[in-house]
Amino acid sequence: MSTPADFWNDQPVIPVVVINNADNAVELARTLVASGTKKIEITLRTPAALEAISRISAEVPEALVGAGTVIDLQTATRAVEAGAKFIVSPGATKNLLKALEGSGLPYLPGCSTLSEALELIDNGVTTAKFFPAVESGGTAWLKAVSSVIPQLSFCPTGGIGLANYKDFLTLSNVVCVGGSWIAPAKLIDEGNWGEIKKLASQVNMETK
């Protein structure tokens, strides 16, 4: 069975981070933690991602660093070995669900259709990633399925930003959202920690 909603709903917005240089990882994590953002998803889309997770796990223990874009057993295993504290996947297959369950970590499998959501429910999943959220129907889709599958809650990710994230958080079947606007790759590459702290602090103030 997947991780209960309680694990996800203690932080309304999870930064979805693409990091190009692992040397920036520790300072990024410290900046986000200082703003009140402890849960951080590092997507496995760059060669630096696993090292970034490892460094944050070792040097910023107050952060809860997770691995995103986990798509198979190999990436799940590497994420665990790097020190990830949770795992997020953009989708789900039977083999991937086995890998996620076998990791021993909190995990969030993905879906974008009602049939995929039903498949997750059949596999004991209670909280799922809805991705790509806006492109797959956004808040309208989530409202439509809320009475059909009330046993499944969601973390919408994809197309979510400062202008619309609150619309998602008002929904009864949404426990949190994921977004890259809090820590954009450009600001990380520039080492603009002041602006990242400002963006993260703004969200934390608005969601209290």
| Residue ranges of domains in the chain, CATH in brackets | 5-206 (3.20.20.70)
For residue 94, which amino acid is it?
K
Instruction: Determine whether 47 is exposed, middle or buried from the number of CB atoms within 10 Å of its CB (0-12, 13-18, 19+).
Output: exposed
Q: What is the pLDDT of residues 177-206, one digit of tens each?
A: 999 999 999 999 999 999 999 999 999 999
What residues pair up with 156 in beta bridges, in sequence order? 130
Catalytic entry in 39, 41, 85, 197: 41
Residue 51 contacts residue 22 (beta carbons within 8 Å): yes
> Which pLDDT score, from 0 to 100, does residue 6 have?
84
Q: What is the C-alpha R_g of the chain?
A: 16
Catalytic entry in 38, 85, 94, 129: 129
Write out residues in the chain with pLDDT < 70, as ranges: 1-2
* 59 labelled catalytic: no
> Which pLDDT score, from 0 to 100, does residue 203 have?
94
> Which pLDDT score, from 0 to 100, does residue 5 have?
75
* 51 labelled catalytic: no
> Which pLDDT score, from 0 to 100, does residue 2 have?
61
3-state secondary structure 4-40: CHHHHCCCCEEEEECCCCHHHHHHHHHHHHHCCCCEE
Say if pTM beats, i.e. exceeds, 0.85: yes
Q: How far apart are CA 177 and CA 158, in angstroms?
A: 9
Residue 71 contacts residue 89 (beta carbons within 8 Å): yes
Among candidate residues 135, 143, 195, the one with its CA nearest the CA of residue 160: 135
Q: How many CB atoms lie within 10 A of CB 132?
A: 17
Q: What is the pLDDT of residues 90-105, one digit of tens each?
A: 999 999 999 999 999 9
